[in-house]
Structure 1
C-alpha cells in the first residue's frame, strides 16, 4: 500500500495516526472512541460511522475528507468530471467583476428559466450536465446583477451560487462549496433577502455537520432562524424555517442528543403539515415526506439502527419525489440495514440509489463506507456485488 494513497478510510486513519506518533489506544482515548472500534476500523473489518469518523478526525487534527479520501479523483477523471471543477472555481472567483466578454447576457426571463432548470438538473441527479452549464450561467447572472438595479437579479445570482454549492458538495469538493456559500451570502445581502440569507446558514450548518463541528453547526442554525425573523410571513418562510429545523435535528442526532433532535423533528413536522409537499420551493424538497426521511437519518445518527429501519418501512415515498433526495435516503437506509445485519437488503438499497441517481451515488461517502462494511458478507451476496464495487472504483 502506498503511504500517499491508502486504499480505504481505515487505512487512511492508521496512516495518519502513525504520522502523529500515536498508538491505537492513545487515539481511542483522544477521540473518546473504544479501542476495539479503532482497531477494527483501521483493519477494514468495521465500517466507520460519520460520528466516529468525525471524532477521529478531530483527534488527529485533520479534516474528515482527509480520512474519507474525498474528492475521489480517479473516479472523477474516469467520468471526465474533474475537468468541470476548475471552470466553476474560476466563475466563483469572478464575483466582483463586471461583464468583460463582449457578449451580452441573455434576457432576464431566460436566465431565470435556466437557473431553475439547473436546480432541477441537480435534483434529478444529472450532476455532470449541471456542472458543465454552471460556469456560464454564473458569469451571465453576475454581469446582470452588476449592471442592473433590480434586487431580483442579486437573488437570482445568490440562487446560482447555491447551485454551485450543490454541485461541488455532491462531487466531494467541500472546500469549494464553502466558497460558493460565501458568494451566496454576498449576493443575498445585496438582494436584501432574509430568506436566502437564512437558507445560506442552513447550508453552512450542513458543511459543519460534514466536518463534525456540531456546536458551530447548531449556532449557524440559530443565526439562520434570526435571519428569518426579518422575512415576511408565508409559505416561503415556512419552508426554509422547517428545513432549518431538519438540519438542527440531524446535528443533534450526530451529537447523540435525542431529546433535542426529536424536538426539532416535531417542529418541522408541524410546519410541514401546514405547507404540504414543497419540493420545488427553493428546491429544498421540504414537506411531510422529507420530515419522515430525516427521521430515519436522525435515528441512524443516534445509532438506533433497528428503529431507523422500521421508520423507513413506514414512509410512503410519493411518485416523482426528487431523485437526489430519494437516492440519498436509500443510502441512509442501506447503512442502517448493514448495521442490523440485513446485508442483502442493504445492498439492494445501494443498487436502488445507483439506479435513481448514478452520478451522485458513485461519489457518496455513505455508499462507499456501507459497501465496505458489506464486504465481509461478500460470499452470500449476489454476483452483482463485485460489479458494484468495480463501478464505485473500490
Structure 2
C-alpha cells in the first residue's frame, strides 16, 4: 500500500483528526463517507475528492485550506519572516556599491555591536538579532570600503557569518548561501585563514546532503587553509572542520568515516583544552564533539546508539542556550523514534521553553511532532498545543 508524502491531503487529514482527538471510526461517523474510504485516503491508497475534503473540514470544524495546502498559520509565519529577512538581504547586496562618507559611527562601536548580535543568536533571540543586523552590515561594509583595514574586514566577515546563521536557523538557505559568499569576499581581504576555513566548513554542511563528495572536498579545502597554523585558534577551527566532515559522512551513511573524523576532533579538542568559545564563536570542545557524534548517529538512523549517547550526556550549566535547545530537539527525535513518546514530548516542551524561536523553526521539531501525532491514539493537550504552535 503506498505511503502518503508529508504534504498529501490524506496526511493532513490524519494530522488534523488526531489533533481533534478522534479515531478514524469517530470521524467517519461524522461524515457521509465510509470508514473504509477514510482509512484509504489517510494512507494514500485513494485520492480525496473536493467533496470529501469539504466534509472532513466541516466535521473537524476547521478551514478547508488546512487540508488542501500549507496551514494558514504557517503562511502567516512565513510572511513575518520574509519581512524580517528582507532588510538583511538588502544589506548583503551593498557589498560592491560605492558609499557615502561615514556618518560618524566608529568602527569599534560597530564591531562591538556585531559581537552583541552574535551573542543574541547564541542565546536564540533570532528576531532581535535579525532586526539589528542590517544596520551593522551596512555600517561595516561602508567602513571597510571607504577606510579599509584588516580588523574591519575581519569584523565584516564575522557579521556575514552571523547573517548566514540566522538565515539558516529560520529556514532561508538561499540567503544563507549569499551570506557565505560575502563572508568569503571579506575574509579574503582580511587575510584571515581561520575565517576562510570556517566558511568552507559552513559550505560543506550546506552541500552535505545533496553532494557528499563536494562536501568532503570543501572540508579538505578548509583544512588546507589552516594546515600550517599551530595556534589554539587554528586547532579549534581544524577540529570543527572534522565535525563538519563527520556530518557529511553521516549523510552518506559512511560509518567508518564518521568514526574517523570524530576521533580526530576529539584529539584536537584535547589539545585545545576546555571549550574554545572565544574562537570565532565556535565553542569547540569535547562536549561539542559528543553532540556531533550523537547527531551523526541520528542522521544514520542509529537511534539506539543515539539514545544511549543522549542519556549519558550531561550538559554543563553554562552550555549555550542555542546548543542546549538543539540537543533537546535531537533527544526528542531519538526518544520518539525508539518509542518513548512521553519523553519525546517532554524534551520538546523543554526545548521550546529554553529557545522558542529556534525550536519553532527547527525542521526536526516539525518531524518529531508529526511523528508523535501519527503514533498517538489520543492527542494530549500538550502535543496539540505544540502542533498548533509550529503550524500543523
TM-score higher than 0.5 = yes
Matches within 5 A, 1:328-343: 328-343=326-341
Match of 2:88 in 1: 88
Match of 1:76 in 2: 78
Selected match of 1:317 from 315, 318, 330: 315
- Deviations, residues 129-168 of structure 1 (Å, cap 9, x unaligned): 1100111000000011112232111111100100110111
**Whole-angstrom CA distance in 2 between matches of 1:13 and 1:175:** 30
Match of 2:55 in 1: none
Cα pair distance change 1:297/1:81, threshold 3 Å: same
Matches within 5 A, 1:293-308: 293-308=291-306
- Deviations, residues 260-302 of structure 1 (Å, cap 9, x unaligned): 1001001111111222112342112211111111111111122
Q: In the TM superposition, what is the alpha-carbon distance from 1:12 to its structure 2 partner?
A: 9.3
Q: Is 1:377–2:387 an aligned residue pair?
A: no
Cα pair distance change 1:8/1:160, threshold 3 Å: farther
**Whole-angstrom CA distance in 2 between matches of 1:127 and 1:13:** 34
Asked whether the equivalents of residues 99 and 139 of structure 1 are also in contact (C-alpha less than 8 Å), the reply is no
Q: In the TM superposition, what is the alpha-carbon distance from 1:315 to its structure 2 partner?
A: 1.3
Match of 1:270 in 2: 267
Where in structure 2 are there 5+ consecutive unaligned residues?
12-39, 46-69
**Whole-angstrom CA distance in 2 between matches of 1:235 and 1:297:** 25
Matches within 5 A, 1:227-242: 227-230=225-228, 232-242=229-239
**Whole-angstrom CA distance in 1 between matches of 2:157 and 2:181:** 10
**Whole-angstrom CA distance in 2 between matches of 1:12 and 1:324:** 34
Match of 1:56 in 2: none
> What is the number of residues matched between the two proteins?
333
Match of 2:14 in 1: none
Q: In the TM superposition, what is the alpha-carbon distance from 1:253 to its structure 2 partner?
A: 1.3
Q: In the TM superposition, what is the alpha-carbon distance from 1:355 to its structure 2 partner?
A: 1.1
Asked whether the equivalents of residues 10 and 43 of structure 2 are also in contact (C-alpha less than 8 Å), the reply is no
Cα pair distance change 1:320/1:381, threshold 3 Å: farther
Cα pair distance change 1:243/1:105, threshold 3 Å: farther
Cα pair distance change 1:175/1:289, threshold 3 Å: same
Q: In the TM superposition, what is the alpha-carbon distance from 1:341 to its structure 2 partner?
A: 0.7
**Whole-angstrom CA distance in 1 between matches of 2:130 and 2:267:** 36
Cα pair distance change 1:289/1:75, threshold 3 Å: same
Q: Is 1:252–2:249 an aligned residue pair?
A: yes
**Whole-angstrom CA distance in 2 between matches of 1:277 and 1:12:** 47
**Whole-angstrom CA distance in 2 between matches of 1:86 and 1:43:** 39
**Whole-angstrom CA distance in 2 between matches of 1:13 and 1:173:** 28
Match of 2:53 in 1: none
Secondary structure class of the residue paired with 1:317:
coil
Where in structure 1 are there 5+ consecutive unaligned residues?
1-6, 15-39, 46-67
Asked whether the equivalents of residues 105 and 143 of structure 1 are also in contact (C-alpha less than 8 Å), the reply is no
TM-score by length of 1: 0.80
Asked whether the equivalents of residues 333 and 344 of structure 2 are also in contact (C-alpha less than 8 Å), the reply is yes
Matches within 5 A, 1:104-123: 104-123=103-122
Question: Which protein has the larger Cα radius of gyration, Structure 1 or Structure 2?
Answer: 2
Q: In the TM superposition, what is the alpha-carbon distance from 1:99 to its structure 2 partner?
A: 2.7
Q: In the TM superposition, what is the alpha-carbon distance from 1:76 to its structure 2 partner?
A: 3.4
Cα pair distance change 1:181/1:105, threshold 3 Å: farther
**Whole-angstrom CA distance in 1 between matches of 2:85 and 2:242:** 31
Cα pair distance change 1:12/1:120, threshold 3 Å: farther
Q: In the TM superposition, what is the alpha-carbon distance from 1:13 to its structure 2 partner?
A: 12
- Deviations, residues 343-368 of structure 1 (Å, cap 9, x unaligned): 11111111121111111111111110
**Whole-angstrom CA distance in 2 between matches of 1:83 and 1:158:** 24
- Indicate the RMSD between aligned Cα atoms, in angstroms: 2.4
**Whole-angstrom CA distance in 2 between matches of 1:264 and 1:13:** 42
Cα pair distance change 1:388/1:44, threshold 3 Å: farther
**Whole-angstrom CA distance in 2 between matches of 1:363 and 1:357:** 11
Matches within 5 A, 1:42-53: 43=43
Q: Is 1:132–2:134 an aligned residue pair?
A: no
Matches within 5 A, 1:7-46: 9-11=6-8, 43=43
Q: In the TM superposition, what is the alpha-carbon distance from 1:382 to its structure 2 partner?
A: 3.6
